Structure 1
């Protein structure tokens, strides 16, 4: 039997979010100043999205305590700040460890729909 994984946004409604709706929800959260979003899956996995409105850190974790893996932009130069977490911490990341916002949206939509990185995505395993 094939079971479809569902995802919910941790601090919103407990109702599952569809891949069709997740980008609209992320955009709305960004517009309201909520730059950090965590999603949890029905299989216990987590997906983190933190943005500075130009680039985003996208991380996928297999469960609690997993260092996970994150989207990457190999060869990107420099660093960007303004990644504000929900508790107010303002982080800076090397640009090679984040992706442009449009790419981050594509990655999140695909993970929510298929449960995995797109075949052409670049990511770093932190385990």
Structure 2
């Protein structure tokens, strides 16, 4: 059984892979740069963006260091990652991916429960 996902601070209705990209875009356009999704099995999926790059993290449960998407060839760092608590973060570009790629990663994980073939990520556990 494939798990279902909900956006934590939206309605309790499941979000499908077909609509999650647009839901994320709407949130970013409205200034919500941090989105957490929770699966029916308790896993967590985080999407934090500065509208150019995004940090995508997949955690098995709350408190799990998880795993995150990477861009190994990227150099430098980007700021402007504003969390829901008002904290402003800066991340090395190698620990984030271009926002278009991030949308695709989230869409695939919501649809299949796994990273796409060919995606690059590191395990932080």
Check whether TM > 0.5.
yes
CA RMSD for the aligned pairs? 0.5
Quote the Cα distance in structure 2 between the aligned partners of 1:64 and 1:108.
Answer: 18
Q: Which residue of 1 aligns with 2:118?
A: 120
TM-score with structure 1 setting the length: 0.97
Q: Which residue of 1 aligns with 2:32?
A: 34
Q: Secondary structure at the match of 1:28?
A: helix
Q: Which residue of 2 aligns with 1:23?
A: 21
Runs of 4+ in 1 over 2 A off after TM superposition: none
Q: Which residue of 1 aligns with 2:45?
A: 47
Structure 2: gaps of 5 or more residues: none
Question: How does 1:78-117 map onto structure 2 within 5 Å?
Answer: 78-117=76-115
Q: Which residue of 2 aligns with 1:11?
A: 9
Q: Secondary structure at the match of 2:90?
A: strand
TM-fit CA distance, 1:43: 0.4
TM-score with structure 2 setting the length: 0.99
Q: Which residue of 1 aligns with 2:71?
A: 73
Matched residue count: 125
Structure 1: gaps of 5 or more residues: none
TM-fit CA distance, 1:4: 2.1
